[in-house]
Structure 1
Amino acid sequence: MDKTPRPTASSPYAVAQSAPHQILVCKACKHKDQPCKPGFELVKKLRAAIAMADLGEAFEVSGTACLAGCVPAHGAPCVVGWRATGKATWLFGDIDPDQPLDELIEFSRLYAALEDGWMGGRDLPPRLCDTTLARIPAAIIFTREGPVQ
């Protein structure tokens, strides 16, 4: 049985949401058997780009535990996710922190404008079409007491 520690909802993996939307960047990537920290670089760049795009009130950019979607063989292991209460969650892989962030900012604008965060692949910025890992519908969980969002 694998005894590797699992991420939990406590430090250093806790992500407390302080804005209506979150952009989560994997900070636990490994690349070619060496510790690789492109996620930290991407967090810094995305925070600056979100602020420059005047989206700082709508989005928080955070590093998070492994999102299990990297493709280290491609040389650009960053995985980035967008989530918000009541909205679909999106996960994109193979994001290179050294590439322009224009399409990530464009997606952020689209996502913030949608009530449910749901869009088709043809509505995505072109580069993100090829890097989509998942689009997960917003969860509505029913308990005996009623729906929980």
Structure 2
Amino acid sequence: MDDLLRRPVATPPYAVTQRARHQILVCQTCRHKGDTCRPGLQLLERLRVAIAAAGLGDGFEVSGTACMAGCDRPCTVAWRATSKATWLFGDISPDEDIDDLVAFARLYRDLDDGWCRAADRPGKLAEHVLARIPAALIVTGEEVVQ
């Protein structure tokens, strides 16, 4: 049998259209092991309200997303923006961490490149980093595209 017939089907392209300069992604599928509740959905709803109430709604889009592979540390939340480092945090509580998430949104908005020290991050965001991904720097020929 031809090897091409045995290969798995490719995943369809994934694209997110961003309406605001900054985006906060909240895992909608996050749940605590052995529990049927979905705290990720609660976090998404509460964070949307808190970001709007803080006057940050024009600069931030708060979106739910599919699994971000932080299943052992729910809930997971990511921040991203063009030309800035992307942050992924885990072990976030919809009940306890909303104020810290809003404070980090303000900090992230004001950072030129998205980089900050643990001491600058509010609450448990100082220690609950799952990933910090540098902004992509794409070089084509003699041109640098960020």
TM-score range, shorter chain: 0.7 to 0.9
| Secondary structure in structure 2 of the residue aligned to 1:105 | helix
Deviation at 1:146, TM superposition (A): 2.5
Separation in structure 2 between the aligned mates of residue 36 and residue 45 of structure 1, nearest angstrom = 15
Tell whether the 8 Å contact from 2:118 to 2:127 is kept in structure 1 after alignment: no
Of the three residues 109, 114, 125, the one matched with 2:111 is: 114
Separation in structure 2 between the aligned mates of residue 29 and residue 8 of structure 1, nearest angstrom = 23
TM-score w.r.t. length of structure 1: 0.82
CA shift in 2, pair 1:65/1:29, >3 Å: same
| Secondary structure in structure 2 of the residue aligned to 1:78 | coil
Report the counterpart of residue 65 of structure 2 in structure 1: 64
Report the counterpart of residue 128 of structure 2 in structure 1: 131
Report the counterpart of residue 3 of structure 2 in structure 1: none
Q: Which runs of 4+ in 1 moved over 3 A?
A: 5-8, 33-36
Indicate the structure with greater strand content.
1
TM-score w.r.t. length of structure 2: 0.84
Report the counterpart of residue 82 of structure 2 in structure 1: 85
Report the counterpart of residue 53 of structure 1 in structure 2: 54
Pairing 1:18-37 to 2, within 5 Å after superposition: 18-32=19-33, 36-37=37-38
Between Structure 1 and Structure 2, how many residues are aligned?
A: 140
Give the superposed CA RMSD.
2.4
What is the identity percentage for the equivalent residue pairs of Structure 1 and Structure 2? 58
- Structure 2 unaligned blocks of 5 or more: 1-5
Report the counterpart of residue 42 of structure 2 in structure 1: 41
